[in-house]
A and B are shown apart, each in its own frame.
Chain A
Amino acid sequence: MLVEAGAWLDHRLGVGASIREAARHPVPRSSASWWYVFGSCTFAVMVLQFITGMCLATVYAPTADRAWQSLLYLNYNQPLGWFIRALHGWGSNFMIALVCIHLAQVFLFGAYKYPRELTWTAGVVLLLCTLGMAFTGQVLRFDQDAYWGLGIAAAIAGRTPLIGGRVVKIILGGPIIAGDTLSRFFTLHVFVIPAVLIAFVVLHLFLVLKLGINEWPMPGRIVRRETYLAEYHKMVTEDGEPFFPYAAQKDLVAIGLVIAALVVTAAIMGPIGPNGEPDPAIIQTVPRPDFFFLWLFSAFALLPPWTETFLMLTGPVVAIALLFAIPFISGTGEKSFRRRPMSVVLLVMTFMTIGILIYLGTYSPWSPHMEAWSGTPTPVDYVRGRTPLELQGAILIQAKQCRNCHSLGGRGGMRGPALDDTATRLTPNQIVRQILEGGGNMPAYGKNLSPAEVNALVAFLETMHPGDEPPARSSINPAVAPSY
């Protein structure tokens, strides 16, 4: 029955032969490897994203007043709505991870070299589209993170010389984040970027079919424009296998595993957000981008202020241009990573840098913890046995919000040094000077504290030396000679 229907269709469409030809096109025996499955896995997750995305779009309301509510409806009221949201949110994370692994593999195996430059270029467009989908998706999850994340993106765009204001208006659909903003990002997320994505996936796959799958790189097998095509042709005719089923079976197994992992992750971790209502009047929030942009968040936070505008505006452009340029910089020569040590170092350094920046971004030690002063109790050991004045100092450490930047007992902000051993480093006079005048990244508090308050703070901080460590001593006081 199915066969008959297929034959009926093919009689009219006449595409069966080309599909069969594409499926059976010969691939080098060496490239039917588990290393070559990540592109297919990315594609599969993308298809799943399209399906879950369509499901979500039937409920999601892309208006500023109802978007957040509709997400809550999906999470709490719609049967299995939370699961679709979880699949879509984690699917986005999976897709980015797979794209990055695929990119790393292609880079390491030299698969971007002649004649596959255009395949790589299309791939870079796909990477940018994937990140674009992730960012616009994060905005559609219209919560506090989305609101402030978008505000930061707009503020960065607003730094562009001359046209900054116009760019912000184009991004936000007006001077502020409002209903028009959400419509724009909905359009980008649902129509514009997916259309580009599909077009470039088609181009990417067409090129893979046309130029053939990259062979396993062998050290010493040099890519030369004059000879490569003939060599590849010889390889696939003499030692090739049909793509289906020989190479495709590994792809299918990997796709199955990735989707199973995604389903399990979604079932265990649940949907991502939404967190608090996107109300700019609520300032008790610690907005943070999703993990795939945490490294940018960290990098921008750690840039020296005088380089900020220049690097924020030129850095991404240069990085993207470099990615596009890779096949044109080293389009021929060795493919094997065993003979390309600098490429390996470059890749490892890039991933390590991004990884460390993401890790730092998860707890952003440079940001004050604005809730610490009222929400993080003074360690009980620092309360027991203290004098009345020292206790007043302990209260002031909280009330003057010192702990938003300085930790006690491992809790509190990390912007300044922990206070637990202050007295081993500073003499009382030095503590007074530090509080009054600030310095070393600390503001001066001389005008915000009364002398009595400073005295209380110093009295408390003087007790801050662990039992076995003596307090700091002024160098003008004679040292007590040890008695032998």
Chain B
Amino acid sequence: MAWRVGIAAVLVVSLVAGCDSLPGRPRESDRPISPSQVKSFARLYDENCAGCHGAHGRFGAAYELADATYQALVDDATLKRIISNGIAGTAMPAFAQTAGGYLTTAQIAILVDGMRQRWKTGRPLVDAPPYAGPDGDPGRGARTFAQSCAPCHGPKGEGGEKAPGSITDPSYLALVSDQSLRTLIIAGRSDLGHPDWRGYPPGQPLSAEQVADVVAWLAARRQHFQGAVYARNR
């Protein structure tokens, strides 16, 4: 009889002593928090940005955020403005509560800081064209395009073997802003193999003026859609 009581006592004591490590015990990290209280960059990024910009800022349909060149090119205020208010005329929506989104100012700051910490390597860009600049000249842009872009994108931007698909397609140009064209030309998309401003070809970096000119030339290819025109109707 005594040994039964002993076994029962051992069981009870070990249960009570071990209950802190039982798998069912809720961890502090399981504590439910309201969406506006989420402070984790990983969670905020995964829930709001990953859909378009890719799981770790790479290989998304939209711009590569985990690109050190891009992160060096853009400043905090610009990132914050884009996340908060979106980019009119493109698919980038506004995320700030003040602009109809779900994120608080603090959460947008967490996103900006998190991207900087993870993806900005700290080296400033040398001789890079600035993020924004004055408008260029389409005529000069045509010459720069022929020299620097046409080898991959084709003489009229209709696409080539290395870069399939037209970049002067009116539908494409209608969906991207001049700034996103400029950002793409300067910072490139390393995940998809698009060079940055130093690589057209390597050794002959584009100047700020040349970048602005190419953007102006591309912008001049834009067409205004009159009513519903479905270009690929066949």
Contact surface of A with B, Cβ cutoff 8 Å: 72, 75-76, 80, 82-83, 86, 143, 266-271, 274-277, 279, 282, 284, 371-378, 380, 382-392, 394-400, 403, 428-429, 432, 450-456, 458-459
Contact = CB atoms under 8 A, between A and B. Distances in A.
A279 B34 contact: yes
Given A385-B164, A455-B230, A375 B50 contact: yes
A86, A380, A400, A429: most-surrounded residue (chain B CB, <10 A):
A380
Contacts, number: 165
A372 B52 CA distance: 10
B234 interface: yes
A405 to B, nearest CB: 14
B24 A82 contact: yes
A174 B159 CA distance: 66
Interface of B: 16, 19, 22-26, 28, 31-35, 46-52, 54-55, 59-62, 91-93, 102, 159, 164-167, 169-172, 174-176, 192, 225, 227-234
Nearest to A432: B230
A428 B230 CA distance: 10
Contacts of B59: 377, 380, 383-384
A101 to B, nearest CB: 24
Given A82-B26, A378-B52, A391-B61, 13 more contacts: A76-B28, A83-B22, A271-B26, A378-B60, A380-B54, A389-B165, A389-B166, A391-B62, A394-B61, A398-B91, A400-B91, A452-B225, A459-B171
A49 to B, nearest CB: 18
A340 B33 CA distance: 54
B157 to A, nearest CB: 10
Contact of A456 (B48, B54, B175, B228): B175
A268 B31 CA distance: 17
Contacts of B234: 428-429
A84 to B, nearest CB: 11
B49 A387 contact: no
Contacts of A458: 230, 232
B48 to A, nearest CB: 5
Given A72-B31, A392-B172, A428-B232, A267 B23 contact: yes
Given A76-B31, A429-B233, A375 B48 contact: yes
A375 B46 contact: yes
Given A374-B49, A376-B51, A454 B32 contact: no
A456 B171 contact: yes
Nearest to B46: A375
A397 B91 CA distance: 10
